[in-house]
Amino acid sequence: MNYRKEHDSMGEVLVPEDALYGAQTARSVENFPIGRAHEQMPTEIIRAFGVLKAAAAAVNARLLPARMTEKKRDAILCAADELLAGKLDGHFPLVVFQTGSGTQSNMNVNEVLASRANVLLGEALLHPNDDVNMSQSSNDTFPTAMHIAAALSVTGALLPALDALIGAFLTLEKENEGVVKCGRTHLQDATPIAFSQEISGWRASLEADREMIKSALSPLYALALGGTAVGTGLNAPAGFDVLVAEEIAKRTGLPFVTADNKFSALTSKNALVFAHGALKALAADLFKIANDVRLLASGPRLGIGEILIPENEPGSSIMPGKVNPTQCEAVTMVAAQVMGNDATVGFAASQGHFELNVFMPVIAYNFLQSCRLLSEVMDSFRTRCVAGIRPNRAKMKENLERSLMLVTALSPHIGYENAARVAHYAHEKDVSLREATLALGYLDGERFDALFHPEEMI
C-alpha cells in the first residue's frame, strides 16, 4: 500500500494514499485496534454526522459569512450529500472502542468532508477543524449525532416494523373470532378464552409499547449542538444553536430543537436511557409473545399443538421430519440481546465526570444495534411466522372439552368447595366433569346441561 504524509498538531503521520481521511483518523486506527473486524462506528452515526455538518455549514454561512463563504458552504454541502448517499463509506474505519467522547469519529468526518470538498473544488480551500468543524466541538457534535441517529432509526425503521407486526396480529385476530380454546395461567389449565381474545392481548401489548416508544422520542429531539466544549457555547456565534437545530429539523423532517441546558445535554445521556428502556419494554413483550406462539405450536403430537405455524426449514440434522419454531427463537434471542444492551446503556450513561459523558460511542453502538435488531426481527417474525399462524381447531376443541377448569361455570350453582370436589374426582377417575357431577350427586343431567356452556364463558 502506498502512503502520503499528513500532519496534525502532534506532527506527521502516514496515511493511505487513497484515503480521504487525514492524520487524526490515522492515529486512531493505529491506537485502537479493538474490535476492528466487527465493531466499527455504526453507519447511522456517520450519516447523522453528515446531516449535522451540512446543517452547521449552512448556518455558519448565515452567521459568519466572512469565514464560511458560499463557496466553502456549497462544497461542504456537496461532500455531505455524497456521504449521505453512501458514496464515501470506505473512508470511515474507526471503531466503537475509542475515546469516550467520540472525538476521533468527529474528526474522521471533518477530515473526509474537507478532503472531498477540496477535491470537488480542485483546490485546498477547506480545513477540517477551521471550516467543517466551525462553531462546533466533538463534545457537542457526538451527542447530537447520537440523538439524530437514534430518532431516525426509531422513526424510520423500528416504528414501521412494529406497526406492520401490529397489523398482522390484528388481521389474525379478526380471522379467529369465535374460535374458543382453553385459557392457561401458571402453565396450568384455566377458564376458556377466545383465540381472538388471546391474540388481542398480544396486539394491545405491542400497541402500548408503540406509545411508550413514541413518548420517548421527545427527549431525543433536544440537541446539544451549540454547547461546544463544556456547554458554554464558546466559539459559536449567538443564535447558532437555535438555527442549527432548525436546519437539522428541516433536513430530517423530525422536530429537533436546541436543548434548553447544554451543560446537561453534554453530560447526561438520560434521553437515550429512557428511549432504550422503551425498546426493552418492547423486547420483553416480544419475548413473551414468541414464547406463547412456540408453546401453543409445541408438538406437533405430544405438546399443546393448538396452533400451526409455518414450516420454514428442517429442524434437525439427525431427526428426519423435525421442524422447529425458529422464528420464535430468533425473536427471543434478539430480546435477550436488547436486554443486555440496556444494561450497557444504563451503566455507560452513569459514567463520565463533570462536564462530559465519556462512554458515548458504546451507548450509541448498543442503542442502534437494539433498534436495528428489533426492526429486522419483527419484520422476519411477521412474514415468516405470524402471517402463517392457523388454529388447530380440532386440538383446541379436544383440549377445551378435557379441561377441568370448566367446572368454574358450576361454582355459583353448587359452591366453590363442591366444584373443587368435582374437578378432583374427574381428574382422579379420568372421567368428564358431567360424569363427576352426576356421580357426586350435585346436579342431575338436565340441570348440568342447562348450566354447562363453555362457549359462553368467554
List residues with catalytic annotation.
186, 316
What cell numbers appear for 233 in the block?
457555547
**Helix, strand, or coil (residue 222):** strand
Q: Residue 331 CB: number of other CB atoms within 10 A? A: 25
CA distances (Å), origin 400, targets 34, 139, 446:
57, 62, 21
Pairing of strands 222-223, 257-258: parallel
Closest CA to 131 of 194, 84, 317, 121: 121
Whole-number Å distance between alpha carbons of 209 and 198? 17
Q: Kindly calculate the radius of gyration of the chain based on its CA atoms and give it in whole angstroms.
A: 30
Kindly give, in sequence order, each residue whose CB lies less than 8 Å from that of residue 132, ignoring residues fewer than 6 positions away.
53, 57, 76, 109, 110, 113, 114, 117, 126
Residues 6 or more apart whose Cβ sits within 8 Å of residue 423: 404, 405, 407, 433, 436
Nearest to 71 by CA among 131, 129, 128, 137: 131
